[in-house]
A and B are shown apart, each in its own frame.
Chain A
Amino acid sequence: MRFDASDIDSDFRHRLREWISDNLVPDWRTRFSDEIENVEFQRSWDVALFKGGWAGMWWPEEFGGVRATAAQRAVYEEEMATAGAPPGLARAGRRLLGPAIMRYGTSEQKGTLLPPILSGETIWCQGFSEPEAGSDLANLSTHAVVDGDGYLVSGQKTWTSLAHYSDMCFALVRTEPGSVGRNGISMLLIDLSSPGVEVRPILQITGRTDFCEVFFTDVRVPPDAIVGAPGAGWEVAKYLLSHERGAAMIFSHLVRMRGHLDQYLEVALADPEEAPEAAELSVKVFCAALLANKILSSQMNGGEPGTTGSIAKLYWSETWRELGTKAFVASGEQLLVHSRADGTGDDLANLFLESRKNTISAGASEVQRDIVARRVLGLPFQKKG
């Protein structure tokens, strides 16, 4: 073990920092506050990342990536968050679908789908959750029937991030009639411009519309628009989601959380009653960073990202929610009154809203606890029925 913070990737960090400085419009949030302008800007950022050679951080060289190490990915997340870079729209394609196609896709899919994902030309969204299949994802009921040469898809997805700006959707769909649970599910690739698709943005408490409901009514999908074997969608989804829980991604959240902590400390340290609690919370936030480093080390040595990532996510997301609540209380009742917080800015009101979502998104804390109980601790499980 070595904790002298010797950054073996310092060249990488330096190069990235320089590129960001040369390419990022610092006041993009205010300059492109109009929705249409903002979407255009996010798209242009995706393209800039591609041209700068940063889009393939998660991809091997044979598919145009740079085969970055887990530590380099963490550095990437940390630097992007520190600079306040935009998230872009191409993340779901680049980070989730891309790796799944590399593993489960056909040669033709690799040839036709991967290049536009990497370049940011095609924007993808993830159609997994449904109104009756949230944490219990395998309870999904959106279904597809074989109709001549292809499938007809009907059903509803929800919490579909950025669907209203996306071109395509990779969706979990029940393709075997009468199947239940994890069996009989396939991952279909659905063109959102097809007849029968309706996308409705969901207004959030932040005033933003990051998520959507997506309705499918007899939407025609070609027979080759399927990732993996028919009925094997659950396996593909599990692999795909393991990329969502890798240690590297934590580092961008940590940057935001530290910013939140700094603002809380400004208020709390001035109050002798609050100060010891604030110090304790500082240690917890610091521990979240240390735990992320520990898990990153473990993943670099071959640890499985999904399960170890669940440990880290539970800790940092619960800690951040606690921080959000304490910072709110310390700031007083005026924090959200007349606020225009949209959950993306850097003030306390925005950070409070941002801190609420992380124990729910990308696998709720309760689901993460089940994962850790079963796969890490190996606790006995009672079969249903």
Chain B
Amino acid sequence: MLDYGVDEDEQLLIETTRRWCNDLKGSGDRTLAASRLVEVGVLDIRVDQPEGAVQAACVAREVGRSCTPVFVGDWVTARGIIVEFLDVSSSLQPLLEDHLTTALAGIDAAAPRVSIGRVLKSSSNACSAVVAPLGFDAVTHLVAGECGQWSILTEQDVVASESGSFDGRSLLLSWDPSLDETASVDGAKWSLIGLALQTADMVGAAEGAFERTKVYVSERHQFGRPIGSFQALQHRLVDVFVALEAVSAASWFACWVSADESRPLEEREAIVRGIHAYAAQECVKALNECFQFHGGIAMTEELWVHHYLRRVMSAAVTGGRPRQHFRALADYLANGNTLSA
């Protein structure tokens, strides 16, 4: 039997993160949000241990729940890569020590910024990636390729940056792959941990949107009564809630498994990718319902719901579309494997 009981450390992380996120009151100040979360001790979590991955998920869930404009999964994954990379000899080591660790560990406003992202497309002499800076002025980038390899790019490597397209979360940049230095770290491992934490963030965001929608339908009156008292809406709300309960249970498990090296990588990938894909579908459905229950006001900029919708939709396609994940999982199952706890 699996133990879903929240221990004291996890509870403390959840409560502290919730408090910090609430203090921000949706200010949108990423630097402030980042520094607050560093105070929580997020970067000290050993995310490549199962217990640590679950602890990081406690933070990611709360950050997602409040739609705070930072992505804990990106941070802790980048931090883990750097720590691992420092163990190997590389010409980039001084840079990493001086640059990345300072930036990630301190979130010092004056320190050079790091971004983390994913290759979108590549040709024979150029790659294009979407990256999420921890600050707009990022000068060093960790980029995960499709095969789980991580590249570390400096300012000199980047040949084009579409900074004009920066939307507050990410921007596109291009580089010549012959110039980059590939990190000799276990890319697949870190990609998987990052994906599991992305799932946690996404589920948290969907849960946060649902909680706020539940309040709205209890307060909004039409036809002389709260709209949440109509059974037609209640049953749809329950279906959303139950699906989120299921993907929530799965998401915690996925985070643990992502860092559980007692399981073969193939099994970890099957579980984490499968859960991410399914959770993505259910979270998108949940947001569609939350959107619908608000009626016309959901289409306005001033209402909060579109922020959650954007966050969930972005997370849902991270690391591939659900059908791609399911296809990979089908191959795994076809080889006689099963999903088991």
Residues of B within 8 A of A (CB): 1-7, 10, 50-51, 54, 214, 217-218, 225-226, 228-229, 231, 234-235, 237-239, 241-243, 245-250, 252-253, 256-257, 260, 262, 274-275, 277-278, 281, 322-323, 326-327, 329-331, 333-334, 338-339, 341
> Which A-B residue pairs are the 10 nearest by beta carbons?
A275-B330, A297-B4, A276-B326, A279-B329, A279-B330, A3-B256, A373-B234, A294-B249, A293-B2, A279-B326
Q: Which of B235, B278, B338 contacts A280 (CB 8 A)?
A: B278
Q: In this complex, what residue of A is CB-closest to B221?
A: A380
Q: Which of A270, A293, A380 contacts B249 (CB 8 A)?
A: A293
Question: Which residues of A from 275 to 297 have beta carbons under 8 Å from B?
Answer: 275-280, 282-284, 286-291, 293-294, 296-297
Q: In this complex, what residue of B is CB-closest to A288?
A: B246
Contacting residues, chain B, for A311 (C-beta < 8 A)? 241-242, 245
Can you name 15 A-B residue pairings with CB atoms under 8 Å?
A: A1-B256, A7-B1, A278-B330, A279-B329, A280-B326, A286-B339, A287-B275, A315-B246, A372-B238, A372-B242, A377-B237, A379-B217, A379-B234, A381-B229, A382-B225
In the complex, the answer to whether A1 meets B3 with C-beta atoms within 8 Å is yes
Q: In this complex, what residue of A is CB-closest to B247?
A: A287
In the complex, the answer to whether B1 meets A291 with C-beta atoms within 8 Å is no
In the assembled complex, A136 has its CB within 8 A of some CB on chain B:
no
Contacting residues, chain B, for A373 (C-beta < 8 A)? 231, 234-235, 237-238
Q: In this complex, what residue of B is CB-closest to A301?
A: B5
Contacting residues, chain A, for B256 (C-beta < 8 A)? 1-4
A380 vs B220: C-alpha distance when bound (angstroms): 11
Contacting residues, chain B, for A286 (C-beta < 8 A)? 250, 274-275, 339
CB distance from B105 to the nearest CB of A (A): 27
A286 vs B225: C-alpha distance when bound (angstroms): 40
A275 vs B274: C-alpha distance when bound (angstroms): 13
In the assembled complex, A205 has its CB within 8 A of some CB on chain B:
no
- In addition to A293-B2, A294-B252, A379-B234, 4 A-B residue pairs with Cβ atoms within 8 Å of each other are A270-B334, A283-B250, A290-B250, A373-B235
In the assembled complex, A265 has its CB within 8 A of some CB on chain B:
yes
Residue of A75, A300, A315, A379 contacting most chain B CB atoms (<10 Å): A379
Q: In this complex, what residue of A is CB-closest to B341?
A: A5
Contacting residues, chain A, for B238 (C-beta < 8 A)? 314, 369, 372-373, 377
Question: Which residues of A from 208 to 243 have beta carbons under 8 Å from B?
Answer: none
Instruction: Assess A283 versus B234: contact at CB under 8 Å? Given A5-B341, A9-B1, A275-B334.
Output: no
Q: Which of A290, A379, A381 contacts B2 (CB 8 A)?
A: A290
Contacting residues, chain A, for B239 (C-beta < 8 A)? 314, 369
A269 vs B326: C-alpha distance when bound (angstroms): 11
In the complex, the answer to whether B235 meets A5 with C-beta atoms within 8 Å is no
In the assembled complex, A8 has its CB within 8 A of some CB on chain B:
yes
CB distance from B172 to the nearest CB of A (A): 29
In the complex, the answer to whether A287 meets B5 with C-beta atoms within 8 Å is no
Interface size counted on chain A using CB atoms at 8 A: 52
In the complex, the answer to whether A283 meets B278 with C-beta atoms within 8 Å is yes
In the complex, the answer to whether B278 meets A1 with C-beta atoms within 8 Å is no
A297 vs B5: C-alpha distance when bound (angstroms): 6
In the assembled complex, A102 has its CB within 8 A of some CB on chain B:
no
A126 vs B323: C-alpha distance when bound (angstroms): 46
In the complex, the answer to whether B275 meets A3 with C-beta atoms within 8 Å is no
Q: In this complex, what residue of A is CB-closest to B4?
A: A297
A270 vs B336: C-alpha distance when bound (angstroms): 12
A260 vs B341: C-alpha distance when bound (angstroms): 18
In the complex, the answer to whether A74 meets B274 with C-beta atoms within 8 Å is no
A1 vs B257: C-alpha distance when bound (angstroms): 12
In the complex, the answer to whether A277 meets B6 with C-beta atoms within 8 Å is no
Instruction: Assess A282 versus B228: contact at CB under 8 Å? Given A294-B4, A379-B214.
Output: no
In the complex, the answer to whether A283 meets B339 with C-beta atoms within 8 Å is yes
CB distance from B165 to the nearest CB of A (A): 32
Q: In this complex, what residue of A is CB-closest to B276?
A: A283
Q: Which of A1, A3, A278, A296 contacts B333 (CB 8 A)?
A: A278
Give 1 or 0 for each of A59-76: 1 = CB within 8 Å of chain B CB.
Answer: 000000000000100110
In the complex, the answer to whether A297 meets B333 with C-beta atoms within 8 Å is no
A71 vs B4: C-alpha distance when bound (angstroms): 12
Q: Which of A7, A275, A283, A315 contacts B242 (CB 8 A)?
A: A315
A179 vs B226: C-alpha distance when bound (angstroms): 31
In the complex, the answer to whether B235 meets A287 with C-beta atoms within 8 Å is no
Contacting residues, chain A, for B241 (C-beta < 8 A)? 311, 372, 376-377
A294 vs B247: C-alpha distance when bound (angstroms): 11
A262 vs B333: C-alpha distance when bound (angstroms): 10
In the complex, the answer to whether A2 meets B2 with C-beta atoms within 8 Å is yes
Contacting residues, chain A, for B330 (C-beta < 8 A)? 269, 275-276, 278-279
A122 vs B241: C-alpha distance when bound (angstroms): 42
CB distance from A9 to the nearest CB of B (A): 7
Contacting residues, chain A, for B322 (C-beta < 8 A)? 280
Contacting residues, chain A, for B243 (C-beta < 8 A)? 315
CB distance from A92 to the nearest CB of B (A): 26
A380 vs B3: C-alpha distance when bound (angstroms): 33
Residue of A9, A262, A270, A294 contacting most chain B CB atoms (<10 Å): A294
In the assembled complex, A298 has its CB within 8 A of some CB on chain B:
yes
In the complex, the answer to whether A380 meets B229 with C-beta atoms within 8 Å is yes
In the complex, the answer to whether A3 meets B252 with C-beta atoms within 8 Å is yes
Contacting residues, chain A, for B225 (C-beta < 8 A)? 380, 382
In the complex, the answer to whether A71 meets B10 with C-beta atoms within 8 Å is no
In the complex, the answer to whether B274 meets A283 with C-beta atoms within 8 Å is yes
Q: Which of B3, B245, B253, B327 contacts A275 (CB 8 A)?
A: B327
In the assembled complex, A366 has its CB within 8 A of some CB on chain B:
yes
Contacting residues, chain B, for A296 (C-beta < 8 A)? 1
In the complex, the answer to whether B333 meets A74 with C-beta atoms within 8 Å is no
A75 vs B322: C-alpha distance when bound (angstroms): 33
In the complex, the answer to whether B242 meets A379 with C-beta atoms within 8 Å is no
In the assembled complex, A304 has its CB within 8 A of some CB on chain B:
no
Contacting residues, chain A, for B5 (C-beta < 8 A)? 1, 297, 300-301
CB distance from A318 to the nearest CB of B (A): 8
In the assembled complex, A370 has its CB within 8 A of some CB on chain B:
yes
Instruction: Assess A1 versus B242: contact at CB under 8 Å? Given A71-B1, A297-B5.
Output: no
In the complex, the answer to whether B329 meets A1 with C-beta atoms within 8 Å is no
Contacting residues, chain B, for A269 (C-beta < 8 A)? 330, 333-334
A71 vs B5: C-alpha distance when bound (angstroms): 13
Q: Which of A7, A278, A289, A380 contacts B218 (CB 8 A)?
A: A380
